[in-house]
Amino acid sequence: MNMSKEIQRIPASDVTIEGTADGRTSEKRFYLSGVVLKTRCPTCKKEIERDFGDRYLSYPYYGTPFDLDVWCDNCSEPNGKYDPTYNGAIVKVQLNCSLTVVDD
């Protein structure tokens, strides 16, 4: 004789989630597959991109803006040699975290 009861599903319309996430992830390597940052190098104006499926954020804060370094391969290695005077550029970003209730 089976005494277990069927698990009841609560519809999304009967649920609320309140508050905002802030703090820091515990992930040393936080990948965001499918997310790509694209911009232009402020020095040479060449398009640069950072694919977060390949290049991770390290222990990022969420819900708070932070500086993200971006590098231009054209400027950091002109003529195939590393340029130690190139400092890259900084983009201010914010990692947002949310939890959403959905129906099946």
* Of residues 66, 34, 67, the one with CA closest to residue 53: 34
What is the tens place of the pLDDT at every residue in 24-34? 777 788 898 99
Please, what's the b/e burial string for 32-43 (b: 16 or more CB within 10 A of its CB; e: otherwise)? eeeeeeeeebee
Q: How many residues does the chain have?
A: 104
pLDDT surpassing 80 at residue 20:
no
Is this prediction's pTM over 0.85? no
Mean pLDDT, to the nearest integer, of 57-77? 86
Q: For 43-55, what is each residue's pLDDT tens digit?
A: 899 998 999 999 9
User: What's the pLDDT score for residue 96?
Assistant: 87
Q: What is the end-to-end Cα distance of the chain in Å, rounded? A: 30
